[in-house]
Amino acid sequence: MDACIFCKMVAGTIPVKKIHDDDACVGIHDINAQAPVHALFFPKRHIATLNEIGVEDRELLGSLMLAATRYASESDIAESGFRLVMNCNKDAGQTVYHIHLHLLGGRTMAWPPG
């Protein structure tokens, strides 16, 4: 998708430091971190929202979760705890329309989220 910033990061036309890169997905630091650790994991293939996923995406979604939890471990927040979040559409506050999994940790978080 030409206009999508995450697709441009995958293609390399927007340079970004990758903290994870495999066949299926990429991990980056969030530019506007909301916690000491705030990373984003997204598929290399463009999927705009969670409303577009299908059964064929089960493995892909598992890859995102695996990459995020491995990075949590590497960042020493696995034991203290972390949160994984995917926002879908306007009410959830989605701003980048290429699905991504937020990994947040390194501080105590409130529940319910705002």
Residue 104 CA to residue 40 CA, distance in Å, equals 9
Cβ atoms of 28 and 39 within 8 Å: the answer is yes
Query: Quick one: which of 7, 66, 84, 86 contacts Zn ion (CB under 5 A)?
Result: 7
Q: Which among 55, 25, 57, 28 is positioned nearest to 43, based on CA atoms? A: 25
DSSP-assigned letter for residue 57: G
* Least Cβ distance, residue 105 to Zn ion (angstroms): 25
Catalytic residue (one of 20, 29, 98, 100):
100
Picked from Zn ion, ligand 5GP, none, the partner binding residue 48 (CB below 5 to 8 A depending on kind) is none
Residues 29-58, mask of contacts with Zn ion (x by CB under 5 A): -----------------x------------
Task: List, by residue number, the catalytic residues.
Answer: 100
